[in-house]
A and B are shown apart, each in its own frame.
Chain A
Amino acid sequence: MDFNLNSEQQLLQDSVRRYVDKAYSFEARTALVNAKQGGSTGNWAIFAENGWLMAALPEEYGGLGGSLIDTALIAQELGRGLVIEPYLGCAVLAAQTLAAGGTAAQKERLLPLLADGSQRIALAYSEPASRGMPETVSLRAERDANGYVLQGRKSLVLGAVGAQQFIVSAQVSGAKDITLLLVDANSAGLKRQAMPLHDGTWVEELTFDGVQVGADNVLNGGLAALRASLAHGIVTQCAELVGAMEKTIELTAEYLKTRQQFGVAIGNFQALQHRIADMAAEMEVARSMLHAALASVENDDDATRQKTLSAAKALVCRAAKFVCGQGIQLHGGIGMTEEYQVGHYYKRAIVADLLLGGSDRHEAACAAALQSELRAR
């Protein structure tokens, strides 16, 4: 294993950081959040131009053939800047579901469009009762002469605002596996309701009332493809949170050196020194777990990988809530204000923990895996 960035990775990290510093100053971000669009088409075009949308897509479909490590590097920088563009929803979750489960024709047609940013697709897999876990699907797909008719509901679709298509997970009567289908965003019978999240990103709630889908819109892969893509999603989220923690700690360290109380900079107080040391240790444990997840995706069998990813999701999200929460604490009152940056990292951590399955759910999944492993002995 090598923990150092190679020259290409270093270039990638530098270029994303430069963009975030320039285009995503806290003031610029606040303006973007206030515009209630969940990002800007201009920024998305820059993402595409710089190759960030295609970094981890296969070369044969217009991608750069990079790996999940590239995605993680991009995500970490976006996390530092609290970027609200739908990178996770569109560039990672939807694109990787298509890459893992799309037919050759679908990949040939759509992946290049995702790579160059001319199309957006969002992944609609979550339902109110699924709490982020992909195996719970109650949305029905009934076969008819033209293909399928969809009935049901999908919740909190990341990156749905501005998407032209959705990849929807559905239960076909009698089928064992779940079925993934491409659905046009303007389909008759599809109701879309947009809503903001605490961190300034936007999602949509989708209601399918007899939505007609052609038979050639069915993807090859089912749950396995979805899991593969969620693996990318979880790693992306963990990396974003490591970036968010890094920036929170940097802001806090700076504040401890400048803010005066009792005639000295508050960084002179050991209680606060020890608190920020604990925040840093928590972040580095979380970063190590992110690395463990990346290694597992690279090296492990499917069951081990699922367990490691769940463990990573829970551990990193809990760490982020602690570190970002302590960021507010060490700032005192100013940390509570909407106009100061640090509180927004905490909001990001809270949102991340709730999406793609909460910490409790992922830990329960690990516990269940452990139970069946040990019982089988």
Chain B
Amino acid sequence: MDFHPDPSLASFRQEVRQFLQTQVPADLKGQPRSTRSTREQVMRWQKVLNAHGWGAPYWAKKDGGTGWSVPQILVFDDECAAAGTPTQDPFVQKLLGPVLNEFATPEQKAEHMPAVFNGERLWCQGFSEPGSGSDLASLRTRAELDGDHYVVNGQKIWTSYAHESDWIFLLVRTNPEVKKQAGISFLLVDMKTPGITVRPIRSIDDSHHLNETFFDNVRVPAKNLVGAEGAGWSITKFLLNNEHATTADLPVQKRYMQQLRQLATTQRVGGELLIDQPEFALKLARLDAEVQAIGMMVQRVAAMEQEHNPASHTLGSMLKIRGTELQQKISECLVEALGDYGAVAYPDPHEDLDPAQPLLPLQEVARGMANNMFFHRASTIYGGTSEVQRSIIAKMLFQL
């Protein structure tokens, strides 16, 4: 063990910082970090990154990525969040991309990779179905071979950003006769194909990122099958195993802590600053400590991932549970720090405001905070619920 900071990481941080300062247009910076930026911003940001050779920060060099180590990736994410850049398309960067690198044919790579790098094609993920959330093996969307096309029928749900995506990667049942897991295949589908209907689901954070997606006799070229027919399950396991160190979304947590500090010194309670209230100071101190501990846990998982240590999976599950619980606590604390105004349903942060309308009290500060809090109720559900993670830990760590 050695807790001296790695000097090469410090110089890497400088390099990233310099890129952000000198080569990123001002209007792509200074924004609060959210789960995903607008389609237009994601695409522009991707082009800026790609022009700099950083189009795929999470991938190996041989796949056209930067070949950065996991600790370097964390530094990159951290600096981007601090600078307030848009996000990248997480589905293609963290989930689909690695799958294509591993399993796609040269033709499939030639078809999709240039568009990925250049930010011309955004993706969504078609895994969950009504009735099969965490139990993916029970999915029922069918794909039947008809000549050189698959005909897809069925329904997907919780398809984040389907309404603004160009393509979807889809799990379908190609063989109902075999064992549940063995009958599943992995398909790439153009969202413009006739027969696809996207219906929005409004979520409790008052915004639209979720959808139901319906497939009605959708004809998909058979060449869009990734891997062999029936290999969908093992591809999915590969895909879901990809992300450990970034699961706590630490840059977002740090950003919220900054906002909390801001409120602590600007909001007043009974003639004194919020920070002078002992109970608030204590709460902030506890959150600070937890962010620090989770931050170090992220470093540990990153180091393990870098060494391909299998223990990174269980520690990653623990990080997922605790990191997402912390997101909930911090985002709740922000709303509480607003006092009475925490209860106000301010306009949705994505909504264009009528400049003629007077601002509501505290609107400039508080808009979006409650939305974040409500959104983070999903953190302990998506990417494998906390309950699923606990079962994984019990099984893998204790053989229970």
Please report A residues at the B interface, Cβ cutoff 8 Å.
1-6, 9, 69, 73, 253, 256-257, 267-268, 270, 272-274, 276-278, 280-281, 284-286, 288-289, 291-292, 294-295, 298-299, 308, 311-312, 314-315, 363-364, 366-371, 374-375, 377
Contacts and interface: CB of A to CB of B under 8 A. Distances in A.
Name the 10 nearest CB pairs between A and B, nearest first: A273-B394, A311-B289, A366-B285, A295-B3, A367-B281, A277-B393, A281-B318, A277-B390, A288-B297, A289-B293
B390 A273 contact: yes
Chain B's interface: helix, strand, loop or mixed, by majority?
A: helix
A370 B400 contact: no
Contacts of A286: 293
Contacts of A312: 289
Interface in B189-248: none
B275 A375 contact: yes
Interface of B: 1-6, 261, 264-265, 273, 275-276, 278, 281-282, 284-286, 288-290, 292-297, 299-300, 303-304, 307, 314-315, 318, 321-322, 387, 389-391, 393-395, 397-400
Q: Which of B273, B296, B393 has the most CB of A within 10 A?
A: B296
A81 B382 CA distance: 40
A374 B282 CA distance: 13
Contacts of B399: 257
Contacts of A368: 281
Given A253-B400, A273-B390, A375-B275, A367 B293 contact: no
Contacts of A285: 290, 293-294, 297, 318, 322
B142 to A, nearest CB: 32
A319 B370 CA distance: 30
A278 B390 contact: yes
Q: Which of B5, B389, B398 has the most CB of A within 10 A?
A: B398
Q: Which of B1, B296, B315 has the most CB of A within 10 A?
A: B1
Q: Which of A6, A284, A308 has the most CB of B within 10 A?
A: A284
Contacts of B292: 289, 292, 308, 311
B394 A370 contact: no
A294 B3 contact: yes
A285 to B, nearest CB: 5
A299 B5 contact: yes
Contacts of B6: 1
Contacts of B1: 2-6, 9, 69, 73, 291, 294
Nearest to A282: B322
Nearest to B326: A285
B394 A274 contact: yes
A367 B289 contact: no
Contacts of A280: 314, 318, 393, 397-398
B288 A364 contact: no
B278 A299 contact: no
Contacts of A270: 391
A7 to B, nearest CB: 12
A298 to B, nearest CB: 5
A277 B322 CA distance: 11
A278 B387 CA distance: 10
B400 A256 contact: yes
5 contacts: A1-B2, A1-B4, A281-B321, A288-B295, A367-B285
A369 B289 CA distance: 13
Nearest to A268: B400
Contacts of B304: 3
Contact of A292 (B286, B295, B397, B398): B295
